[in-house]
Amino acid sequence: MSDAKQGGRTTPRDWDSHPPFIHPGYKSTVLRGPTKPLVPLPESLSERTGPVFGHDAVGPLDADLTRNAMKNGEPLGERIIVSGRVTDEAGRPVPNTLVEVWQANAAGRYVHVVDQHDAPLDPNFLGAGRCATDADGVYSFKTVKPGAYPWPNHRNAWRPNHIHLSLFGPSIQSRLVTQMYFPGDPLLPLDPIFLGTPEGARDRLIAEFSLDVTQPDYALGYVFDIVLRGPAATPMED
């Protein structure tokens, strides 16, 4: 998210935690990454105040991806629960933050017209949801574990299992987009998007299995905490 204001001063972002705009191993960044210095634009009232979301826009099933697209039953795949806490650089909770998630289904396919992977679509799985953090900065959603899928970055390239997360602050300019990976995934050392993140910050992108979050006879649980700024910041996507 944008730099934080504390005591009238701006807390700078620790850019060493984030991947570069251009990472040769991730080939599309070479084509779309900026090659000239960024031009800072002054803030106006419209950027600081909107657009915003209303809490009434988050429905009761938005955070349950196993039910928000049901037609003839639940989606196929391993049910999981992902929970975490959103904090600032001082460890303070960040409440009322909109967390949006999107992912491939258990077979590794997105519900998107440009996804031409020949894995099957699941009629009971949309692969998208959202929730808001509570007063303690905690968020939680239910879903199925996404499958790996091939992509044309290089020969025999496969993306690891992952979930995309987007966090919105008080305005449209306060946004963080990142990816959550799963522990023990053998594709992580081969994935140029994951490897584009500086080595010392990569572990912040991997969720931890949690027996406390796991629900008996229902779903395994994972914890993915998100730090918005500072030396322990969660890395953003390229």
Return the closest-CA partner of residue 80 out of 22, 147, 29. Answer: 147
Q: Out of 162, 181, 222, 229, pick the active-site residue.
A: 162
- Determine contact, residues 139/86, Cβ cutoff 8 Å: yes
Task: Examine the residue annotation and report whether 149 is marked as an active-site residue of this protein.
Answer: yes
Interatomic CA distance for residues 82 and 102, integer angstroms: 13
Q: Out of 26, 139, 149, 222, pick the active-site residue.
A: 149
Task: Examine the residue annotation and report whether 159 is marked as an active-site residue of this protein.
Answer: yes
CA 3 centroid distance within chain = 19
DSSP strand pairing (128-132 vs 175-181): unpaired
Q: Out of 26, 109, 110, 130, pick the active-site residue.
A: 110
The type of residue at 33 is G
Task: Examine the residue annotation and report whether 110 is marked as an active-site residue of this protein.
Answer: yes
Q: Which two tokens stand for residue 140?
A: 């939680």
Q: Out of 109, 164, 204, 229, pick the active-site residue.
A: 164
Rg of the chain over Cα atoms, rounded to whole angstroms, equals: 18
Q: Out of 18, 23, 159, 204, pick the active-site residue.
A: 159
Q: Known catalytic residues?
A: 110, 149, 159, 162, 164
